[in-house]
Amino acid sequence: MANFFSNFWHQRVEMVRLLVLVGLLFFPLIGDDYLVAMLTQFIIYGVFAMGLSLVWGYTGILCFGHAVFFGLGAYIMALATKNMIPGITGILTTSLGAVLLAIVIIMLFAVVLGYFLFYGRLSGPYLGIVTLAIAVISERIAVKWYYIGGYNGLINVPPLSIAGWEILNLKALFYVILVIGLAVYLICNRLVRSPFGTILIAVRDNEVRAEFFGYNIAQFKIIIFAIGAAVAGLAGALFAAVTEFVSPTMLGFGLSTEVLIWVALGGKEALLASFLGAVLVRVLEAFLSDILTYYWTLILGMFFVVCVMFSPKGVIGNLLAERPKH
Q: Please spell the DSSP secondary structure of 158-206, one letter per residue.
A: PPPEETTEE---HHHHHHHHHHHHHHHHHHHHHHHTSHHHHHHHHHHH-
Phi, psi of 172 (to 5 degrees): -65, -40
- Assessment of whether the complete model's pTM goes beyond 0.85: yes
Which DSSP state fits 155?
E
Per-residue pLDDT of the chain in tens (326 residues, 90 and over written 9): 556 556 655 677 778 888 889 999 999 999 889 999 999 999 999 999 999 999 999 998 989 999 999 999 999 999 999 999 988 888 888 999 999 999 999 999 999 999 999 998 888 788 889 999 999 999 999 999 999 999 999 999 999 988 778 898 999 999 999 999 999 999 999 999 999 999 999 999 988 898 888 899 999 999 999 999 999 999 999 999 999 999 999 998 889 988 998 999 898 888 999 999 999 999 888 887 777 767 767 777 787 778 777 777 888 877 765 444 44
Residues 6+ apart with CB under 8 A from 153: 142, 245, 246, 247, 248
User: What is the Cα–Cα distance from 218 to 215, expressed in whole angstroms?
Assistant: 9
